[in-house]
Amino acid sequence: MENSKPTNENNQNQGQKTQEGNKPQRNRRPNPHRQNNNPGQGQNGGGGESGENRNRNRNRNRKSNPNRQGGQPRQEGQGNQSQGQKQANNNNRKPGNTSRNSGGNKGRGGNKRKNVTTVNDTMRASLEENKRVQEARMAPWKQMDLNSKGKVRFTPLGGLGEIGGNMAVLETETTAIVIDVGMSFPDETMHGVDILVPDFSYLHTIKDKIKAIVITHGHEDHIGAVPYLFKELKFPIYGTPLALAMIENKFNEHGLKGDSKYFRFVTKRKQYEIGDMKIEWIHNTHSIIDACSLAIETPAGILMHTADFKIDHTPVDGYTMDLRRYAHYGEKGVLCLFSDSTNSHNPGFTKSETVVGKTFDQLFEMAKGRVIMSTFSSNVHRIFQAMQRGVKHGRKICVIGRSMERNVETNRALGFVDIDDRHFIEVHEVPKYADHEILIVTTGSQGETMAALNRMATDEHRHIKLKPSDTVIISASAIPGNEASVSKLMNLLMKAGVTVRYKEFSDIHVSGHAAQEEQKLILRLVQPKFFLPVHGEYNHIAKHAKTAVTCGVDERNILLMSDGDQVEITPKYLKKVKTVKSGKTYIDNQNNMTIENDVVLDRQKLAEDGIVTIVAQVSQSEGKLVGKPVVYTHGLVPDKEDKKFAKEIEQLLETMLLNMKAKGIPEHTVIETEIRAAVRKHIVRTKKRYPLIIPTVFVV
């Protein structure tokens, strides 16, 4: 074993043979490529070593005794520390001290020492204090009164398990508020249904507690069902001027003009006391002007509801999301966060609305004839950007479509669309101008049958006939469930020969909902104890929950809800307590009337399985058919097989009546029930269908 000696001894014995076991140590040949890590010293002289040699020999030297002569056997008690000395050295080592021999243990490098960080009591106290501050910062909710007896209940009645139809109830022991009252769209199986509104049954059961309706923004899926609720129950409505103005337009359509007396206009960053709650509207960015989040102070603690949002740092109107208020309430300690989950599967950030304006620049430059732009009528920032490009290119603006006209005029009246009257024309004035001087802004981006764009595509519009020189810009994406309608519209436009600009331009439409990185930012600003993802289908809220876990929310403090689930929130726990009645009411938009559930079910039955009607006469005395029964089918068998099917039913009835004759022929209602059961069994066996069967029997 190679010995580590004092410097003078190293110099004296350099080049001599030493013993390591019984083997002599060979003189090392100098390496001309190896650099000297000890400037001023020779490679072999002065006890200096290169960094490479020093690293190689560090472990060898660790147990060497500098007092031992080369070749001498190690004597007991020499060269090694006693057990007591080892224990003392071990006890003197402090956490953070990386030196194993801080007392001056020297290697072959002579007096050269390692850099040593000394962790004293003052530094250790500072480390502990910084750790405490960091942990408090990452969980500000711990400063709440966790022994508080306050509790709140949150009950979503729409917007979970679906896109749209958002409505929820937040209640304490004495106060309840309704957050948004939105509508949703039917799927293709709901024949004759135009819109869906939430079931208001639960609101009737707690109507004495309800102090207000709180509106976050003016999208249809947040305000569209307010008129239908007001036909049953009326409460004060709190919201920003634009949201309430859009509700007023709906009230006028439904004959509720006088109900605008329930409006309570709010100012952002100001608290409003409603029962035993204090509510502040916080500006956020979304695909509609004046969208807000909510900060709600309750007896149980602070709750925050983002509503629909994205974080747009360059919005069209320049008013960015008020992230400082999120941070303000986060510092105070937030008990529970409710947050928009619509785009929870999208990584990164949602693009700014202003990128659409840049795409419009390109499309307007390319267009030679009329430009027809269709988008959501509530997306005023996008409409405004299209109008700005129209004015820039010397085009007159024609607004077509009832909801589009109404929303544009409302936003112009409130000052959100600042374009002079001289740039607008009426639809009957369009032929007076050259095609390159016209911009038409219209509804119908979702392929709605009665919308203006669809009527243009089917050549049914009274004033606008499409031309091959027209450019149609569809600046929207299909709402889930509307994909077939949008595809049909695209086919009609293509057949009309127009140039369609849709998804081939990536920035022709951007979402109004936050992607994952924006969701993370809100979670980190608020740092809530509990988290309830809202707004979206189940897969959306489940994905949002996983994002929350990565941002420090305890998985046990998250619940995935469905419509009707009632969740109780206290400083100590979050749990589901019961399920209340929820569902949808079907509305025919042509007359704003409700369609009963059984009517819709019958329509679905007719569409899927068809109908069979049977009219027969039965002799009371003989127990036989009088004449042949009349059998009609629709949607079950083709016309050419009607006679064959009618013959099968006739034989079936004759057999059934023969079996009944022994017991006596009962009254006609009993016979009709028996016929329905026998015919259904026969059709299921032969056709594998479940049609609606309507028998009519006359006993003579």
- Mean of pLDDT values over 351-361: 95
Question: Is there a single domain that holds both residue 340 and residue 392?
Answer: no
Q: Is 329 left (phi over 0), alpha (psi -120 to 50) or beta?
A: alpha
For 482, the enclosing helix (H) or strand (E) is none
The residue assigned the tokens 């009957």 is 428
The two tokens of residue 555 are: 């998985």
pLDDT of residue 52: 46
Question: Is there a single domain that holds both residue 257 and residue 336?
Answer: yes
Q: Does pLDDT of 667 surpass 60?
A: yes
Count the residues in the chain: 700
Domain count, the chain: 4
What are the C-alpha distances in Å from 119 to residues 90, 97, 126? 16, 7, 11
The chain-wide mean pLDDT, for the chain, equals: 84
Q: Does pLDDT of 637 surpass 50?
A: yes
- Read off the CATH number of the domain in which 445 is found: 3.40.50.10710
546 falls within a domain: yes
Burial class, 349, CB count within 10 angstroms (exposed 0-12 / middle 13-18 / buried 19+): middle
- Read off the CATH number of the domain in which 693 is found: 3.10.20.580
Mode of pairing for the β-strands spanning 611-618 and 692-699? parallel
What are the C-alpha distances in Å from 336 to residues 177, 322, 516, 547? 17, 19, 19, 16
128 falls within a domain: no
Strands (E), 369-448: 371-374, 396-400, 438-442
Distance separating the N- and C-terminal Cα atoms of the chain: 124
425 falls within a domain: yes
Question: Is there a single domain that holds both residue 453 and residue 400?
Answer: yes
Closest CA to 219 of 479, 488, 526, 397: 479
Question: Is there a single domain that holds both residue 286 and residue 380?
Answer: no
Question: Is there a single domain that holds both residue 337 and residue 203?
Answer: yes
What are the C-alpha distances in Å from 316 to residues 273, 380, 513? 32, 10, 16
Question: Is there a single domain that holds both residue 456 and residue 485?
Answer: yes
- Read off the CATH number of the domain in which 222 is found: 3.60.15.10
Percent of the chain with pLDDT over 90: 61
Last residue of a domain, one of 73, 92, 111: 92
The two tokens of residue 396 are: 């007159």
147 falls within a domain: no
Question: Is there a single domain that holds both residue 627 and residue 666?
Answer: yes
- Mean of pLDDT values over 665-674: 83
Question: Is there a single domain that holds both residue 161 and residue 221?
Answer: yes
Coil, helix or strand at residue 230:
helix
Coil, helix or strand at residue 379:
coil
Question: Is there a single domain that holds both residue 491 and residue 539?
Answer: no
pLDDT of residue 478: 83
Range of the domain at 57: 7-92
Burial class, 346, CB count within 10 angstroms (exposed 0-12 / middle 13-18 / buried 19+): middle
pLDDT of residue 199: 94
Question: Is there a single domain that holds both residue 257 and residue 291?
Answer: yes
Question: Is there a single domain that holds both residue 229 and residue 361?
Answer: no
For the stretch 164-204, pLDDT in tens is: 899 999 999 999 999 999 998 887 788 888 889 999 999 99
**Confidence class of residue 31 from pLDDT cuts 50, 70 and 90?**
low
Question: Is there a single domain that holds both residue 81 and residue 159?
Answer: no
Q: Does pLDDT of 48 surpass 80?
A: no
